[in-house]
Structure 1
Amino acid sequence: MIEALTMKAGYTAVIAAIGVLAVLYRKFSSAGRNAIPLPPGPPARWFWSNALPAVNIAHALTDVVREYGPVVSFRQGSQVIVVIGSVEAAMSIMEKEGGSLADRPRSIAGGEMLSRGMRILLARSGDRFRRMRKAIHTNLQPKATEAYQDMQRENARNFILDILNDAKNHQNHAKRYAASVILRVTYGKSAPTANTDPEVIHIRKVIDHFQVVMRPGAYLVDRVPLLRYLPGYGKQLTEWHHVELKLYRQQLGRVKSEDQNKAGPSITKTLLEHTEDHQLSPDEMSYLAGSLFGAGVDTTAVGITAAIMAAACHPLAQAKVHEELDMVIGPDRAPIFGDSSSLPQLHAFLLEAFRWRPVIRIGFPHRATKDIIWQGYRIPEGATVYGCHWAISRDPIVFPDPEIFNPQRWLDEEGHVKDNMKFIAYGFGRRVCPGMHLANQSMFINLALLFWSFRIAQRPDAPINVHAFSDAVISHAEPFEIDVIPRIEVAKLREMMTTNDCVG
């Protein structure tokens, strides 16, 4: 009996010793990590203050990067926010450490109260995110998106006709193109015009709501979570949630009720046909399709508009694309997708347009799931990390004279697009935009047809303000006018854009 008690006491002592050693190990190893400093940055703020700039965010963050260095830390109470503002740091941290930055920070206003955890853009890492990502991957991988090329080219030709008929409203025409393509891809439906289709009008309201919610620091509840339980606090967010969920449910229900033998291919149709594989609830499918629709409508239209602005303001760069199109295509046929590899000047122009005026200027937030060490600095576990597209696109080491629009920076000495310069427009790591291949196809065919058809110029009586963009997560250009000078005889151009001559 005494021997048993002695052995039990010995085991207890050993277990206690192991526990003490474990605590000490965690303490000292943590102390060691904490000894590695955070990246430099502005003074810390109280938790109820907004650590990031309140206005003109992208430009303000770029100024902070220039002052403190390519990786900057902001402290807001106990929360650390890290902003990355150079190409080298983005590749080393956002790409190489992508597995440690695949999570999103908790978003109470946007992720929980507005989206109820079902918006893939804001979804935390875990089972639901993996199921959603897997469910759409089949539809949006490069080989799958080739099936949409005929439809994209058809709508791009309609875009050319819209410009020919009414160049003043070119921004609305870009929105119509984007809406038609994304409606077809997402729901198997086309929109005749961006201004009259009920779904497009409704989705734009949803996008506007999302823009408000996603602005850093827009809602105090993200810093003081208890506010969500205050009676009446989240009334507006709740109303907005019901508005978008109703829209997304209606679209899912419409596709579900169609004769599936007659319905065209779409992401929603595929989701409904494989519910047992991806294990998504009806509302999760509704949100997955709906949020992809919303993202695609906005970003594609903004990208096309940025390229039009660049062409009007930089005629010499545009002329190089014209020269290439004349040599490769000629006047007797319009560009097709098969011409893509023969048009490096066009691709360089597109890359430079995205760099010159990024569609999403500050990027979307990531969350570090472990400590990341970079050049003697520590990005701590739990930190919110932004790869600021505007600051990265202004990196003077990779992009000398960054404010100069120069597509040639993307080409090597032999005139090929460089393979060692990273295209960051679609985000980073495992959170890269799933629709990037579809979006690239839209940008290519629209610019190819646009520059083949027209020379775009500024109006002498209406100079373009290239800095007039909305201060939002997805930054829209303020309305501007252009002159379009047809490069093909107008009657011939109209006929070629109307006739279904050949596929891409």
Structure 2
Amino acid sequence: MVSLSWPDYLSSSVLSHENIIALIVFVIVYFLVTFYQRGRDLANIPPGPKPWPVVGNFGGFLIPTFIRRSFGQQPDSSVINAVVVLTEQANVYGNVYSLFVGSQLVVVLNGYEVVKDALSNHPDVFSDRPTVPTVTIMTKRKGIVFAPYGPVWRKQRRFCHTTLRNFGLGKLSLEPCILQGLATIKTELLKLNEESGGAGVDMAPLISNAVSNVICSLILGQRFPHDDLEFRNMLGLMVRGLEICVNIPAVLINVFPLLYYLPFGVFKELRQVERDITVFLKRIIAKHRETLDPDSPRDLADMYFIEMLSQQAAGEEDSSFTEDYLFYIIGDLFIAGTDTTSNSVLWTLLYMVLHPDIQEKVQAEIDEVVGRNSVPSLTDKGSLPFTEATIMEVQRLATVVPLGIPHMASETTEFRGYTIPKGTVVLPNLWSVHRDPTVWDDPDSFNPARFLDDEGKLIRKECFMPFGTGRRVCMGEQLAKMELFLMVTSLLQAFEFRLPEGVPPPPLHGRFGLTLAPCPYTVCVNLRR
């Protein structure tokens, strides 16, 4: 065999003119077929702004829009969040329109009729979850929230829902657990308020701790004291992680996934947040494994281990019940069960200090129905229509999960006259549903009475969907409703809330992460006499 040096190789017949021409023709044909196929796949997709090369609309549309708003070059420049920007585009392109994040097609659904049609009438197509690099890197497409739709997800969700119900989810038996956290809040509030000297109290750490301890009791079988610094740090990391995920640099990970591994900035911070939360949760899971008593399960984690061991004993080699999968389920429930409900309570208290007349009406109703000496209970809920209407109106205006969790088209389908290709990311804009002028009168105003009829009875409306709709509706909806009702009624029964003297109210556009949190604020707390 004759070996060729590199110069000889170049001059050999291997790269003859015929072969070079053939190679060029192959490359041209390949790209022509690729572009033809891509053009055919994208034919008749919903309209939208023209994307930039490589970065898509992320560069050509979102960044310039955010810059203009940030420098006040558009009216109402205080409203600087992606939800408002995305909702406004429906006025230009219609309630179903397209964006590109890199080469990934994203279809945004706006308004009640469109969102309901997609998620309720086409569940087989729009119930899947996309492979979004930022999320996939951290969740490995496992768990309850971000896992793809299919038999594994259905089996895991069914097990978790049944187990949580057995431990009190949605039942009166869970009420003492919620009230226990409220007792801590009340004690700490008075102490912190006195120490503040009129500067006000930041309610966020107290509320977050109490809410998180409820889900921790269900899934981990333990509560964490308010002064547990490691636990408070975990809650802070969770909030920060959700904020980072929608930061412009972090969103770029979805265009260039390797950015996730850069050793600086938010990329490094995001990895550190993930590592710290992972260490915290895996240590608790390991302790559960070591102390497991199959005859006396304490929580969801124990029940999961029992199911896992049962399937192993039955010889089910391909079982999805593994310790690794348990980790992602607990992570999902820990984060989803804390952040959304905490923010809902904080939004409600903020609206109460901004609308003291509504606060007084809610307190008057609680006084009349519950009294001053009895603790509010879930059994009182049906007798407090104005209170419940007020909570619902806050949920409508705040929309804590404004874009839901991203969905994905599991197959190419026709929807509302457009072609939605398989693999398209679908964003149900719940914010736009709750601000839809076709179903809500004066949608931007705060008016709890919109949820009451002429006799003062509560009205249930299909266009009210703070927990989403369809097959991927939030599994913790009942728990969130219980916590929100008990916390709001108990706090308003005991205290009057107002802004500190001379302090301007915080802006209502909120802080946009995967959830929408209120901007930081403090309140002065006075015991009601």
What's the TM-score, normalizing by structure 2? 0.77
Aligned match of 1:70: 95
Supply the distance in 2 between the matched residues of 1:421 and 1:229 (Cα, whole angstroms).
Answer: 40
Inter-CA distance 444–230: structure 2 relative to 1 (3 Å threshold): closer
Residue matched to 1:290: 331
SS at match of 1:53: helix
Pair 1:335-2:359 in alignment? no
1:297-344 Cα shifts (integer Å, max 9, x gaps): 222211110000011111222233223212211223121111111111
Q: Which residue of 1 aligns with 2:116?
A: 91
Written as runs of structure 1 = structure 2, the 5 A alignment for 1:198-347 is: 198-213=230-245, 218-224=250-256, 227=258, 241-258=274-291, 260=293, 265-275=298-308, 276=310, 279-347=320-388
Report deviation, 1:228: 8.1
Change (3 A) 1:325 1:230: closer
Residue 15 (structure 1) aligns with: none
Aligned with 1:445: secondary structure? helix
Aligned to 2:186: 160
Q: 2-side partners of 1:301 and 1:364: how far apart? A: 18
Read off the aligned partner of 2:135 and give its amino acid letter.
G
- 1:10 match: none
**Matched residues in 2 for 1:216 and 1:236: separation?**
14
Deviation at 1:238, TM superposition (A): 6.2
Following the alignment from structure 1 to structure 2, what is the Cα–Cα distance between the partners of residues 332 and 230?
56
Structure 1 residues 262 and 188: alpha-carbon distance in aligned structure 2, compared to 1, 3 A threshold = farther
Per-residue deviation at 1:239? 5.9
Check if 1:393 corresponds to 2:418: no
* Aligned partner of residue 425 in structure 1, secondary structure: coil
* Contact kept? 2:152, 2:320, Cα under 8 Å: no
Amino acid at match of 1:118: K
Question: What is the CA distance between 1:441 and its match in structure 2?
Answer: 0.7
**Structure 2 matches for 1:17-32, cutoff 5 A?**
none
The answer to whether the Cα contact below 8 Å between 1:348 and 1:411 also exists between their aligned partners in 2 is yes
**Inter-partner Cα distance in structure 1 for 2:440 and 2:485:** 23
Matching residue of 1:492: none
| SS of the residue 1:145 aligns to | coil
1:365 positional shift? 0.9
Q: Which residue matches 2:127?
A: 102
Q: 1:312 to 1:219 in 2, by over 3 A?
A: closer
Cross-structure match for 1:11: none
Q: Which residue of 2 aligns with 1:17?
A: none
Identity %: 25
Q: Deviations over 1:344-389 (max 9, x none)?
A: 1111111111111121223221001234444433433322111122
2:80 paired with 1:48: no
Tell me, yes or no, if structure 1 residue 81 matches structure 2 residue 137: no
Q: CA RMSD in A?
A: 3.2
- Mapped partners of 2:247, 2:465: distance in 1: 20
CA–CA separation in structure 1 for the residues paired with 2:299 and 2:408:
32
Tell me which residue corresponds to 1:172: 205
Quote how far apart the aligned CAs of 1:428 are.
3.0
8 Å contact from structure 1 (residues 309, 466) kept in 2: no
Contact 1:459 1:483 (C-alpha < 8 Å) held by counterparts: yes
Question: How far apart are 1:400 and its partner, in Å?
Answer: 2.1
Q: CA offset at residue 279 of structure 1?
A: 4.2
Q: Compute the displacement of 1:472 (Å).
A: 1.8
Q: Within 1, Cα distance between the matches of 2:184 and 2:440?
A: 35
In structure 1, runs of 5+ residues without a counterpart are 1-26, 490-504
Amino acid at match of 1:117: R
User: What is the aligned counterpart of 2:139 among 95, 115, 130?
Assistant: 115
Q: Does 1:130 align with 2:154?
A: yes
Please give the alpha-carbon distance, in whole angstroms, between the structure 2 residues aligned to 1:456 and 1:179: 23
Measured in 2, the distance between the counterparts of 1:258 and 1:212 equals: 36
CA deviation digits over 1:203-232, x for unaligned, max 9? Answer: 53255335423558835453356x489998
Q: Is the 8 A contact 1:372 1:380 kept in 2?
A: yes
Which SS does the other structure have where 2:326 is aligned? helix
SS at 2:511 equivalent: coil
